[in-house]
Amino acid sequence: MLKTPTLVITLLAFHVCTYAQTIKAGKDVAKTNQLANAAPNKTSSITFHLETVAGIGPSGFSNSVIANTDMLKNSKDPFYREEYKAYPQMKNKPALDSLVEYLYIVNDPQFFFQNYVAGIYSKEFMIKKMGHLKYELADTIKLSRKPLLCYIAVIAGFNSNKQPVYMVDANNNGDFSDDKTSPVLSRIMDEELMVNSSQTADITYMYKGQVKGGTKRSLPRRLFTIKSSRSASLSLSLII
């Protein structure tokens, strides 16, 4: 006689629990439908208008002291004489006293690799040079086999007024006849003066497998002047 009430109470409790879960599930579905049909929150946006200006930033500049081309050409070390083989032979150099010529290589691995592909550099030279640059040979797959303008040609000397001047091959066409001279400065701390005294050169580079074009700003700075009884010569560093 006692088993029957217990069974009824158990069934009744199960029914109430099930009913409560059904109601809760129904509420959750209704709430989800309300959220789905609700209008999205309005968002606001801010538009920034940017202007490109000539300057040094954002990463500052690099200052490089490099050998002039004659030092490589006339070196007693055959390794440096071979490096000189790929340097462009510039045309129409201006009549400057104590003229010195520099070639600043913007992308060293690309420069040496493309000239190896062109047959100018030997395989042994290219492997050794890449070792000096700590560049993995396997990564040459990322470089262009077609020549890129990855260097800047610069010459400097004294004009007729005995003032030190320099010239950059601005369009990178191997010809100085269409370029201009600018004064070589000694101490440069002011950014505006650096920009106004610098010159730009056209370059090309690889980006995501495609050749892109751009410009590189450069400014030779006089380190010191070597004077002799007959002439004077400039020693420069190149600010890029």
The three-state (H, E, C) secondary structure of the chain, written as one string:
CCHHHHHHHHHHHHHHHHHHHHHHHHHHHHHHHHHHHCCCCCCCCCCCCCCCCCCCCCCCCCEECCCCHHHHHCCCCHHHHHHHCCCCCCECCCCCEEEEEEEEECCHHHHHHHHHHCCCCCHHHHHHHHHHCCCCHHHHHHCCCCCCCCEEEEEEEECCCCCEEEEECCCCCCECCCCCEEECECCCCCHHHHHHHCEEEEEEEEECCEEEEEEEEEEEEEEEEEECCCCEEEEEEEEC
Share of the chain above pLDDT 90, in %: 47
pLDDT of amino acid 228 = 42
Instruction: Give the chain's mean pLDDT.
Output: 78
Residue 113: pLDDT band with limits 50, 70, 90: very high
Q: Does the pTM of the predicted model rise above 0.85?
A: no
105 pLDDT above the threshold of 80 = yes
pLDDT tens across 114-171, in order?
999 999 999 999 999 999 999 999 999 999 999 999 999 999 989 999 888 999 999 9
